[in-house]
């Protein structure tokens, strides 16, 4: 069973939405995955997702209200097969945080969407609620591409 951790800065907007989008995509494909999300920062640890993130997920049939923010730990780099960053800064932070014995594969989420490689998922935190719709669309597209890539047989 593949395991995937999504990582953004505070773990209250983008990464919980990415977790929810992949959970929904996996459910539709009848797949069993281990999924979680975390932040590289700790200032929101223990807090629920932003209410705007909860609302956009709910509009798409996903309940993220029970999630709580947490910070990435060294153990995550061994526990998860894939650690997927939502932007370049967090990918670089993950590379710096990775212990020497890390086994997780690091990637940028939109690298899993043809034509969007190298791009960051829009950060809706400082904007209006509509920005969360843009983020949901991006993480949903990436969820499908990520599943296709993770499920591809290794040679």
Can 52 be counted among the known catalytic residues? no
Can 123 be counted among the known catalytic residues? yes
User: Which residue in the list 8, 36, 50, 76 is annotated as catalytic?
Assistant: 8
User: Which residue in the list 36, 76, 87, 123 is annotated as catalytic?
Assistant: 123
Q: Using an 8 Å Cβ cutoff, are 61 and 28 in contact?
A: no
Q: Residue-wise over 32-62: b if at least 16 C-beta within 10 A, else e?
A: ebebbbbbbbeebeeebbbebbbebbeeeeb
Which tokens is 113 given?
């969407």
Q: Using an 8 Å Cβ cutoff, are 8 and 90 in contact?
A: yes
Start-to-end CA span in the chain (Å): 18
User: Which residue in the list 14, 50, 52, 111 is annotated as catalytic?
Assistant: 14
Q: Using an 8 Å Cβ cutoff, are 49 and 12 in contact?
A: yes
Can 14 be counted among the known catalytic residues? yes
Q: Using an 8 Å Cβ cutoff, are 123 and 4 in contact?
A: no
Active site residues: 8, 14, 123
């Amino acid at each position: 069973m593949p395991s995937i951790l999504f990582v953004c800065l505070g773990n209250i907007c983008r990464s919980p939405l990415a977790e929810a989008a992949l959970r929904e995509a996996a459910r539709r494909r009848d797949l069993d995955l281990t999924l979680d999300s975390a932040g590289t920062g700790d200032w929101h640890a223990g807090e629920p997702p932003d209410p705007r993130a909860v609302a956009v997920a709910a509009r798409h049939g996903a309940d993220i209200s029970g999630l709580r923010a947490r910070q990435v730990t060294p153990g995550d780099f061994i526990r998860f097969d894939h650690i997927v960053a939502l932007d370049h800064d967090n990918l670089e932070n993950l590379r710096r945080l990775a212990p020497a014995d890390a086994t997780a594969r690091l990637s940028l989420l939109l690298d899993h969407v043809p034509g969007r490689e190298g791009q960051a998922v829009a950060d809706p935190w400082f904007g209006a609620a509509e920005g969360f719709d843009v983020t949901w669309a991006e993480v949903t597209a990436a969820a499908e591409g990520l599943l296709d890539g993770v499920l591809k047989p290794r040679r």
